[in-house]
Structure 1
Amino acid sequence: MLAVVEKKENGFIATYNRPLNHSVEKVWAALTQNGKLQKWMPNLEIVDLQKGGKIKFNMNDGTGNSFDISILDFEEQSYLQYEWGEGWVRFELSPKDNGCLLVLKEYIPALSDHTPKDLSGWHVCLIMFSAVLDGKYMDFPKGEWEKWYEKYVKVTNQL
């Protein structure tokens, strides 16, 4: 399911809704425990999990380079929001029958040629995230990313 991208007063919000057949506790662990997080988003490393805390973004290019991302908002097993480029991303969890709903929101201040790449990247990361929850590990599926990239190019061209 494609993200819904909406124009807002000072930018855009992309929203991905993912109903999951897993408990809030299990999903939260995959979002915040480094051993699980790095199976679907290998660049991220939680350093200080709290509002005002930090996440390290490791370049993973052999240079050892990294930079810090600030945690903007946080409530244990409910939501996690952090900087993402010039904008932010927010993961929200709510319990549902037989699992929970994961809502990923990305605030994008301005559209660019990079926007559909970023949107398709999050889309594929959510596929990888679901695989981790199911006890499976997968490498980044470049072909899958390319398929979603074309769809997100169409979405952003309509905005």
Structure 2
Amino acid sequence: MSDIHGYVPGPAEGALVRKEGENWTLILVRKLRHSPQRVWAALTEPDRLKEWAPFDADGNLGSTGAVVRLTTVGAPKPVVTETVVTRADPPRLLEYSWGGNDLKWELEAVADGTRLTLWAVIDRRFISMGAAGWHICVDVLDRLLGGAPVGRIVAGDALEFEGWQRLNREYAAQFGVEAPSWSPLSGDES
């Protein structure tokens, strides 16, 4: 699949890695053309998350202490994570865990939009895959908020997408790691 609804991701950029043991932190920075309030709603509201995020939420993530079940989309077997929102400071800061890994979203108002910074803890073996996946998710989010939705591109759809494959290789080269491969049919890494 070369593109999805005319969407082709740009080059791997705006990301760096903080290396700490087996789990590394991906730091992805993007400028979005939308207000922090609109971005916040897309990060926290279940109906909006299901249009771009790699998980569905059974509740709103927008308040500290909220308990929400996150269901990974497209996993070979259902993967459900119960998370507690550890920090929600609308529309600036959101922190919670997904699949045992911490996520932190920071939104900063800038001219013509929002600077979005994501910190995502990822097993070092899959850091380039995670960077490619979040790169695409944030692009899809930006297009959704801009009124040009392309639909969620996650799991097997992402893995079969040439843009994801290219980003995986580019991020691996930037981070100095070998790009892992993954068979979307078996769910096994190779």
The separation in 2 between residues aligned to 1:111 and 1:63, in whole angstroms, is 23
**Match of residue 152, structure 1, among 158, 171, 177:** 171
Checking the alignment, whether the CA contact within 8 Å between 2:26 and 2:121 is kept in structure 1 is yes
The separation in 2 between residues aligned to 1:7 and 1:67, in whole angstroms, is 25
Contiguous gaps of at least 5 residues in structure 1: none
- Identity, in percent, stands at 23
Per-residue CA deviations over 1:39-69 (Å, capped at 9, x if unaligned) read 1015221525322323322244597763322
| Aligned position for 1:19 | 31
| Aligned position for 1:143 | 162
Judged with a 3 Å threshold, the aligned counterparts in structure 2 of structure 1 residues 60 and 92 are, in CA distance, closer, same or farther, namely closer
Length, aligned pairs only: 157
| Aligned position for 1:82 | 96
| Aligned position for 2:121 | 107
Contiguous gaps of at least 5 residues in structure 2: 1-12, 179-190
The separation in 2 between residues aligned to 1:93 and 1:116, in whole angstroms, is 23
- Name the SS of the counterpart of 2:150 in structure 1: coil
Alignment RMSD = 2.7
Per-residue CA deviations over 1:58-101 (Å, capped at 9, x if unaligned) read 24459776332232221121111111334211111111122121
Judged with a 3 Å threshold, the aligned counterparts in structure 2 of structure 1 residues 87 and 60 are, in CA distance, closer, same or farther, namely closer
Per-residue CA deviations over 1:21-49 (Å, capped at 9, x if unaligned) read 21111111111122222110152215253
The separation in 2 between residues aligned to 1:32 and 1:65, in whole angstroms, is 20
The separation in 1 between residues aligned to 2:103 and 2:54, in whole angstroms, is 16
- One-letter code of the match for 2:65? G
Judged with a 3 Å threshold, the aligned counterparts in structure 2 of structure 1 residues 157 and 126 are, in CA distance, closer, same or farther, namely same
- Name the SS of the counterpart of 2:135 in structure 1: helix
Q: TM-score, normalised by structure 1?
A: 0.82
| Aligned position for 1:51 | 64
Checking the alignment, whether the CA contact within 8 Å between 1:46 and 1:54 is kept in structure 2 is no
CA-CA distance at 1:154 after TM superposition: 1.8
- Name the SS of the counterpart of 2:85 in structure 1: strand
The separation in 2 between residues aligned to 1:155 and 1:33, in whole angstroms, is 33
| Aligned position for 1:122 | 134
The separation in 2 between residues aligned to 1:89 and 1:135, in whole angstroms, is 26
Judged with a 3 Å threshold, the aligned counterparts in structure 2 of structure 1 residues 146 and 107 are, in CA distance, closer, same or farther, namely same
Checking the alignment, whether the CA contact within 8 Å between 1:32 and 1:46 is kept in structure 2 is no
The separation in 2 between residues aligned to 1:46 and 1:56, in whole angstroms, is 6
Which has the larger share of strand?
A: 1
